[in-house]
Amino acid sequence: MIIIMRRMGWAVFVLVVIALAGYVLNRGIYIGYTLTSYRVGDSTFFLKRCRYLHLNGADEVSVAGSFARNPPAENVFCPALKNSK
């Protein structure tokens, strides 16, 4: 009886891990960012786009407040999981 309960415990654990991995990959895991510079007249502006990994590939999302004159890498952070739309 104890052996069956141990096996069921491992099976439940594996199912929970698979469900959690599916949820996280469906939402999107942060894998990095790209920083693009744009010249407008004499000024240079920077746009930070966060990259997220999904089950069907990667996605880039602009961060609110990331289009600025100074490089926003230090003061604008990307969330670890992509916000749902």
The whole-angstrom separation of Cα 84 and Cα 17 is: 21
Q: Would 26 be classed as within a structural domain? A: yes
Tally of structural domains, the chain: 1
pTM of whole model > 0.95?
no
The mean pLDDT of 25-43, rounded to a whole number, is: 83
Question: Quick check: is 77 in a domain?
Answer: no
Mean pLDDT of the chain: 77
Per-residue pLDDT band for 61 (boundaries 50, 70, 90) equals: confident
Residue 69 within a domain: no
Residue 44 lies in a domain: yes
Q: Is residue 80 part of a domain?
A: no
> What is the reported pLDDT for 55?
81
- Please tell me whether residue 6 adopts helix, strand or coil conformation: helix
Domain that residue 24 falls in: 2-62
**φ, ψ of residue 48 in degrees (nearest 5):** -100, 125
Mean pLDDT, to the nearest integer, of 53-59? 84
Q: Is residue 73 part of a domain?
A: no
φ, ψ of residue 73 to 5 degrees: the values are: -60, -35
67 found inside a domain: no
Please report whether residue 78 resides in a domain.
no
